[in-house]
Structure 1
C-alpha cells in the first residue's frame, strides 16, 4: 500500500514537472516573439507573428523548444521513475533477503541444518556467511555424532571387558556385541599364542548364532596370518576364492562382499586378531576408524588377562611346590629320624662288631698260639690242594722247615698210594666238609727215611 501511494505521488509530481517545463518554454517562446516585434516596431497580431517567422527562421527552432523541453523532461522523469523502481526493487529484495536470512538463522538456531532449498545470491554476504556457519555447524554436528557413536561403542565393549576374567567368554561376548553394533553378518575372534607362535580361533558368530570353528593360523598364513605379520588392518572388497565363509538358511552359500581384519596390538605386541565379514559392498570409514581405536583397548585387556593367568599359574605352581617342599620336609624329617635310629643301631652294631672283632682276634691269637705250639703237624690247603699254612712242628717231626713245605713239593714226598689217598680224602671233604675223614700214608722225611703218618681232615 505504501509503495502504491509512493507511485501515485511520483506520477503527480511528474505531471506537474511536465506542465511547469512546458509553461517555462512557452514563456520563453512568447518573450522571443515580443522582443522581435518591439525591435521591428510591428503591431501584435497573428499576421505579424507569421511575418517574423518568415523574416527570422530561428523562431521556428525556438517554437520547437517547448516540445523538446517537454520531451526531455518526460524522459528524465521516466528515467528517474525507472531508477526509483529499480531502487525500490533493490530495497524490496534486501528486505526479502533479510527476512529469508532471519528465517534461515532461526532454523540454524533450532538445529535444522539440512535445508538444501535455500537460495543465496552471490552478493548476499550475510546469507553466504550463514551458509558457511551452517556448513561448519553441520560438519561439527556430524563429527560430534560420529564421536558419540565411537564413544558409545567403546563404553559398551569396555563394560564387557570389565565383566569377564575368562578369555574365552570375553572373546565371545565382545564379538557378539561388535557384530550387532556395526551391523554385519559374521565375525571371528582369534588369540595369539606366543609360546606356539600360532593364531587360534576362540569364538565365531554368524547369522545370530554361535558357531564352532577350530582354526589355527601361523604368522603370515592366509589373510589372518597376513594381518598378524603386518600388524595392520586388512580390508578387502574383492574376496579370494579360497576364503572360508559360513552359510545361512536365508542367504545360502553367498560369500561376503567385504571383509575387515583388525589386529589387536598393545605396546607393539600382537595379542590377537578380530575378523569381520559383511554382505555390504564396503565398510564405512567410521566403522574402520572405530574398530581400529577399539583394537588397542581389547588388546590391552587381553594382555592383562594373560599376565593374570600366568601369575595365577605361577602362584599355583608355587603353592604346589610349597606343599611338595613341606611334604619333602616331613619326609626328610622322617628320614632324619630313621637315619638317627639307624645311626644308633649302627653304633650298637659297630660296638658289637668291635667286640666280635676283638673276640675273633683273640680267637685267632689263640689259634695261632695253638698252631705254633702244637705237637702235631697242622697243614692248611686251599680248594686247589695247594698248601697255605704249615705249622712249625713239621720241622721236629719231618725235618722240613715250613718254608720248604710250602715250596710246592709236599705232594712229591708222598708215595703214589699216599698221594691218591690224599686226593680222594680232599674230594670227599669238598663234597661234605662236616664229616671228618682220616687216612694213613707213608711220607719221606728230609733225612730220607720213611715214616707212617695218620692224617685227619
Structure 2
C-alpha cells in the first residue's frame, strides 16, 4: 500500500513498534526487579526516536519505582549490614520519598533494627556485668520467640550464678573467716560445670573441715597432756607438711615430757632419800630404811645390804629385803669373793642379765621364781668402799633406774661416812668424858699459870715500853753520832788537807833548797798525815757498817787481776822486812767473781796488812782456790747455796793469837795486845771492818791460829753476789759508781805538755780557810796555773764578775754566810758562767755528799785531804772539756 495508507500503516507499525519496544523494556526492567536487579531502567527512546505520551509516563513511573526500590534496598542492606554483620546497633533506614507499602516496609525494618539494638544492648549490658562479677543485673527488654528464650536463659544463668556465688561466699566466709567448719554450698537446679564447681567447693570445704578438725582434735588433746594422739587424716602439700610437723612436735614433746618426768622422778626420789637419810646415826637403821624404800622403788623384789668390816677386811650382811636365809648362801664375803666381793674389789657395778632359775629364788606365799636381772652396786666415799647393795628383779632395770641408783650410791656413801665419823666421834667423846677429871685438874693449873703469865706479860709490856724509849734514845744517839762524825770528818780533814799538801810540796823539793834531812822530815810528816787519814777513813767505814749504809757496787772482778793488785803494795814491805811473800792460785779457780771488787780488795789488804804487821820473820802466803768442802760449816746463806765458793787464805808465821782472844779481835777497837806497853800500833778496826764487809758481800772470815806459831785467816766468797740493794744506793757505793763514770787519768807525774796546757789558765779557789787556799794555790802555781782566791761565796761572785777568763773554780762547801751550794747556784745564774767547771773541794765525805754537790750544780767532787795528782788530773780533764765546749 502506498500513500496515506502506507503512511498510516507505517505510522501504525511505528507506534506498535514503539509500544512493543517500550512494553518489552518495561517488562525487562520489571523482571530484573523481580530478580533483585535494581540496576536496570527503562530507556526513553526507541531506535533513536524518543518515546512520547503515556509510554514515557509509564517508563518514568517504572524508573521511579526502581530508584525507590534501589534506595530502599540500599538502606535496608546498610542497616542489615551494620546491625547483623558489623554489630553497629542503632542504625535506621532512611528512604526519601518512600510511601505506602515501602514506607511501611522501611518502618518495619527500622523497628526490627531498633528491637534488635535494644535487646542485644540489654543482653550485652547484663553479660558485661556478669563478666565483671555484678550478678545483680537482669535482661528487662521486651522480647519474644527465641530472643525471649535467650533472655530467660541468661536471666536464669545470672540467678544461678548469683546463688552459686552467694553459697560459695557463704561457705568460704564460714570456713575461712568465721572458722565454722562443715559448711556446704547448696545451689538449687545447678547442673553441668556449675554443679561440678559446687561439688569441688564442697569437697574443698569438706577436706579443710576434716583436716582442721583432726588437727584441732589432736592439738586439744596435746594441750590436755594427751601425747598419745597423732593426726591421721589424709592430706597433701603444705597441709601434709603441717600434719607431719605437728606429729613430729607431738613426738618431741612426748620424748621431752618422758625425759622431764624421768628427771622429776629422779630428783624427787633423790631428794626424798636425802631427806630420809638426813640425821640418821645408826648404821643398821639406815641400811634397813634404804632396803625397804629402795627395793620396791626400782621395781626390784629382792635386796641385800652389805657393809665393810674394816678390822676383818670383809663384807657383812646388815639389812635385806625379801631375803631367804639359806645354808648355801653366805652372809659374809671377802674382797674378791663372789659377785658381792668382786664388786667391792673392782669398785664398779656388776649387772647379771640371764640368771639361771636355781641361782636365787624370790618367794611369796603363793610361790617362787627366779629373777630376770641382778644388779650389784658399790657404795664409795672418796674412793673407799663402804658398802655393797645387791638388787634382784623379775624385769630388767631401765636406764633411769640405773642413773638413779648410781647417784643414790654417792649420797649413801656420804651418809655412811658421816655415820662412821659420828660413831668415831662418840667413841672419842666417851674417851674425852673419861679424861674430864684430868682436864679439870690441868685447867686449874693452867689458870694459875695464866695468872702468872699475865703478871709476866705486864712486866714484858713495861720492858717493851722501856725498850721503845731506849730505841728512840739510840736513834737520837745515832743521829748525833752521824752528825758528830760528819763534823769531825770536816774538822779533821780541813787542817789535814793543808798539812799533806804542804808536806808533799816540801818533800818534792822542787827548788832543791832543802837538805836530805829536811826532805826526810817532810816525808815523815806526809806519811804521818796519810796514817791519820787512813785512821779517819777506818772510823767512817766502821760508822757506815754499823749504820747498815755501806754501799755495795757489784761487777765482774777478775780473780788474777784482783790478787795482783792487792799484793803489789806489799812487795816492797816484804823486801824491807826480809819476809818470804808467796802467792798461790789454783788452776780450778773461776775466771771472775761477780762482787764489789773495791771492797774485796779492802778486806784482802787488811788481812795482808795485819799479817805483815805481826810477822817479824818467816813467810806470808796468799792462796786463792776453789773451796771443795761441806757447806754446813758456813753461817751465811749465800755461801751455803752458792754453786761455787772461792777461798782466799792469808797464812803467816807471826805471833799468833791465843784461843781466848780469837773472837775478841773481830770486835771494834780490840787488839791482841792492848796494854800500854804494846809493841804493835793500829786502831783495832781493820778486822771489824773486814768482817762486816765480808758479810755484806755474802761471805765469811774464818780464823785458825796457834799463839807463837802464826795465824791463818780465810775469806770465803760466793762466786755471785746475791746481797740486797742498799737503801738509796748511798754512801761510798754510789760515789764509787759515779767515780766509774768519770774518766780520770792514771796517777803519775805531769809531763811538760801538761804544764804547757796549764800555762796562763786562771783557776778560782774558794775556801774560808787560808791554810787550804795557800796549800792548793802552791800546788796549782807549781804547774803554771794562775790562781785567784776568795775567802767567801760573795767574794767569789765579785771576782767572777771582774774576770771573764776564769777556766775552772775549786769550791769549798762548808763556808759561813753563803755555803758552797748556794754560791754555785748563784754562779749558775750568771749567763757567762753557766758552763763553768766548778769542782767541789770539800772535807764533807759522808754518805750523799757527792750526790748533793752534783744536784746543786757542781761539775765534779773531790774530798780533802786532796790527792794533788788526782786533783791535777781532774783540773786537766775539765780544762779540756771547757775548751772543747767553747770551740763548739
Q: Per the shorter chain, which TM-score range?
A: 0.3 to 0.5
Structure with bigger helix share is 1
Normalised by the length of structure 2, the TM-score is: 0.26
